[in-house]
Amino acid sequence: MRHLTITGLLILACVGSLAERAAGEFRAGAATSNITPPLGGPVVGGFQPFPATHVHDELHARCLVLDDGQTRLALVVCDLLGIHRSISDRARAEIAERLSIPTENVLISATHTHSAVSALGISRFDVKQELDDYQRFVVSRIVDGVTRAANLLRPAEVGFGIAEAPEHVFNRRWFMADSYVAKSPYGDIDRVKMNPPGGSKELLRPAGPTDPEVSFLAVREPDGAMIGLFAAYSLHYVGGVGSGHVSADYFGMFCEELIRLQGADHQSPPFVPMLANGTSGDVNNINFREPRPRKPAYEQMRYVANDVAAKVHEALEQIEYRADVELAAAYREPTVKWRTPSPALLAWAQEKLSEPETDSGRADLPRIYASRAVSMADHPAETSIPLQALRIGDVWIGTMPFEIFTEIGLEFKSRVGPRKGFLVSLAHGYFGYLPTPAQHELGGYETWLGTNRVQVEASDIFLDNLSQMIAGE
């Protein structure tokens, strides 16, 4: 050995590394990156952004890297309302350059906390944009987090589980009695009302289902310490934060509580759980039949987070782990049509915007949606939409860059088979809400032009594409 040149030693090292990878040993590593913004940035989640004045709890990009000896995947969940597509594109390109993980093998999604500073940029619906300072910071922290997770790769085993948490999810779209008139900002009559008056006698029935399942992949060292957990739950967010506060909402609190329940508070390397947003575009935490009294800031959020974490903790006791796991990824960008305003609607919008602005302190929805309609008139006819499917063993994780209705997530689960997969929202971009064609016929906030931006049939197109990707077509 002492007579070998440095080049020869490098060749032997590479051959040894390849032999180790070819052996098919499953490995995993996890890490977090702090993505808390400076104070003063715009907190988004409502129609009127406001400046961040305090950080209640830090925001993170939580990262998990999996390696089966042949294929490497990276899964990232960010404590953000949404990420612009340009963030995902840039971060995945840098990860590919630094770590040789193909861009189609990297999943980056946002939780949809409504108490985060915007990472969507000035023109959130422009497909391409120059990144601002905070977006560049988020990109760098994602790349660093995935790098650190890859640095921590070690022998591992993985298991899939489901916890049931039905008591926290409520469909927020309701059929109302004929005496209740629901109007869109454009003056149309809707057949359903989003977030109707709680306890009203005019409530008839929810317009769609909920999904009570918390689906999760658990990763641990062989018969040892937890490495990471990737979960998805179809609950929009909880809210109830302090004025001007930055918070990861229940998503972050869930992670903290699960670490505590697992006794991993001081574990090294750390246990990194993450909770992605499932398909919650029409679901929230409000029981409209029996609305709860107003609670102090963070109380309801903590209650939901702790209960969901406890249910996952209990379900972890039943998990069967495997080390003989194969990984795979599929990615494609089908083209769909942008919705555009009719000539009559565009004329109305332009007239509305010509009127003097009022300073009532409340969101002027007709004016806001008039502006959205005008902006959509300038869109190109079509756009490509990033879709992804990752396979971990026999479990599939699908993604779409939308606030996805629960019915779509349930349909995805039925297509992949019982307990074989789940869908994640707000991955690789933010393109607005995604109702089903049937829900479009009912109207309501999530279907309004400007809240929804792609053709009515888009959800069916995306589900068909994901099904083909999973089938290898």
Does residue 9 lie within any of the structural domains? no
Query: Is pLDDT above 70 for 124?
Result: no
Assess contact for 350 and 186: CB atoms under 8 A: no
Backbone phi and psi for residue 70, each to the nearest 5 degrees, phi listed first: -125, -35
User: Taking a C-beta distance cutoff of 8 angstroms, is the pair 160, 216 a contact?
Assistant: yes
pLDDT higher than 90, residue 152? yes
- Residue 454 pairs in a beta bridge with 338
Task: For residues 337 and 453, give the distance between their C-alpha atoms in angstroms, rounded to a whole number.
Answer: 9
Instruction: Tell me whether residue 52 is in a domain.
Output: yes
The set of residues, in sequence order, having a beta carbon less than 8 Å from that of 179 and lying 6+ positions away, is 202
Shared-domain flag, residues 351 and 272: no
pLDDT class for 24, splitting at 50, 70, 90? confident
Same domain, 88 and 158: yes
Q: Is 258 within the bounds of a domain? A: yes
Select from 143, 135, 180 the least CA-distant residue to 42.
Answer: 135
pLDDT tens-digit map of 423-452 = 999 999 999 999 999 999 999 999 999 999
Is residue 438 in a domain?
no
Other Cβ atoms within 10 Å of 281 Cβ, number: 29
Residue 233 lies in a domain: yes
Residue 419 confidence (pLDDT): 82
Indicate if 277 and 216 belong to the same structural domain: yes
- pLDDT at position 5: 36
User: How far apart, in whole angstroms, are the C-alpha atoms of residue 202 and residue 175?
Assistant: 9
**Amino acid letter for position 330:** A
pLDDT at 254: 98
Residue 362 is part of which domain span?
343-377
Cα(203)–Cα(450) distance, integer angstroms: 26
What pLDDT does residue 3 have?
38
Q: Mark 122-146 as b/e (b = at least 16 C-beta within 10 Å).
A: eebbebebebbebbebbbebbbbbb
Q: Are 235 and 273 contained in the same domain?
A: yes
How much is the pTM? 0.93
For residues 368 and 351, what is the distance between their CA atoms, to the nearest angstrom? 13
| Whether residues 112 and 197 fall in one domain | no
Element at 317 (helix H, strand E): none
Give the total number of structural domains in the chain.
3
Q: Quick one: pLDDT at residue 8?
A: 37
DSSP letter, residue 454: B
Is the Cβ–Cβ distance between 61 and 141 less than 8 Å? Answer: yes
Residue 307 CA to residue 211 CA, distance in Å, equals 16
- Find tokens 């077509």 and name the residue: 473
- Note whether 262 and 283 are same-domain residues: yes
Do residues 164 and 186 both lie within one domain? no
Residue 276 lies in a domain: yes
CB neighbourhood size of 308 (10 A) = 24
Q: Looking at the structure, do residues 293 and 307 belong to the same domain, yes or no? A: yes
Q: Could you identify the residue written with the tokens 């590394």?
A: 17
Residues 215 and 305 in one domain: yes
59: in domain: yes
Please check whether residues 274 and 313 belong to one and the same domain. yes
Does one domain contain both 65 and 110?
yes
8 A C-beta contact, residue 106 and residue 143: no
Give the pLDDT confidence score for residue 13 in this predicted structure.
35
From 205, 226, 260, the end of a domain falls on 205
**Domain-ending residue, one of 205, 225, 260:** 205
Same domain? For 220 and 82 the reply is yes
Q: Is residue 469 part of a domain?
A: no
